[in-house]
Structure 1
Amino acid sequence: MTDRKLALEAWESLFRAQHELFDEMVKDFDDAHLSQAEYDVLLTATRSPGMTARLRDVTSNMLISQPSVSRLIDRMVSRGLISKCPDPEDGRGALVKATDAGARAFRALATVHGRSIAERMSRLDNEELRLLRDLAEKLRTGSSPGSTYDQ
């Protein structure tokens, strides 16, 4: 049986580490032409085949409500960062696609942000990073550590 006190200590440590790292890394967006939320939308879109993702997949990856995602998508369409069209496989759904301008803006910020993340995460060695990744995935999905990401 899990030690309750240890579980609470681990949770508090994880929560505080995430919060403190997030506060440091949010500075990557201070002078960027994309907000953090826009970056997240483009991350999902650019990682999808043809840089096109279902709106429901974008929404599920975000930490904001569906109506907020819809408003964000509309703003990004008006800025020329993404396009939006009906999903031919789901009459109620929509597809979003990173435009060339959106993909360029994403790549420019991803380079800076990725470097920032790597720098901050370098406090851990590669074995610790793999363990952290696998444990976080296990907490999120209940899957066994290393089941989907070992390379």
Structure 2
Amino acid sequence: MTDRQLALRAWESLFRAQHELFAEMSADFEDAAITQAEYDVLLTVVRAPEMSTRLREITTNMLISQPSVSRLIDRMVARGLVTKAVDPEDGRGAVITATDAGASAFRRIATVHGRSIAERMSRLDDDELRALHALTEKLRSH
């Protein structure tokens, strides 16, 4: 049986590390053309085939509610970062596609943000990074 106190300490440490790293990396977006939330949407969209994916895929990858994702997407459409169309396979859903402007804005910040992530994660060596990845995947598996 798992030691309850150890589990609580490990959880708190993981939570605080994630929170502190996230706060540090939010500086990457201070002067960027897109917000961190828009980056998260574009991360899913730009990586998809033909830079197009279903809204439900974006919602699955986001840490905010479905209505919040929908409002964010609508703002991104208004800003010209993505387009939104009826899903031809499911008329109730939507397909989101990155525009050239959205993909370009994403790539610019992705370079900066990627360096920032690598720099902060360099506190760990490659074996530790592999172990961290394996452990977090294990925690996420059902």
TM-score tier by shorter-chain length is over 0.9
Cα RMSD of the aligned pairs, angstroms, is 0.7
2:35 — aligned with what? 35
Q: Secondary structure at the match of 2:83?
A: strand
Q: Secondary structure at the match of 1:113?
A: helix
Using the size of structure 2 for normalisation, the TM-score is 0.97
Matches within 5 A, 1:9-88: 9-88=9-88
1:135 — aligned with what? 135
Runs of 4+ in 1 over 4 A off after TM superposition: none
How far the C-alpha of 1:64 sits from its partner, in A, is 1.1
Q: Distance in 1 between matches of 2:61 and 2:119?
A: 24
How far the C-alpha of 1:31 sits from its partner, in A, is 0.6
Q: Distance in 1 between matches of 2:4 and 2:23?
A: 28
Q: Distance in 1 between matches of 2:43 and 2:10?
A: 29
The number of residues matched between the two structures is 142
Q: Secondary structure at the match of 2:94?
A: strand
Report the AA paired with residue 138 of structure 1: K
Q: Secondary structure at the match of 1:31?
A: coil
Q: Distance in 2 between matches of 1:116 and 1:58?
A: 23
How far the C-alpha of 1:23 sits from its partner, in A, is 0.8
Larger helix percent: 2
1:114 — aligned with what? 114
Q: Secondary structure at the match of 1:107?
A: helix
How far the C-alpha of 1:65 sits from its partner, in A, is 1.1
Q: Any stretches of 5+ residues in structure 1 without a counterpart?
A: 143-151
Q: Distance in 1 between matches of 2:4 and 2:70?
A: 40
Q: Distance in 2 between matches of 1:91 and 1:4?
A: 48
Using the size of structure 1 for normalisation, the TM-score is 0.92
Q: Distance in 2 between matches of 1:59 and 1:12?
A: 26
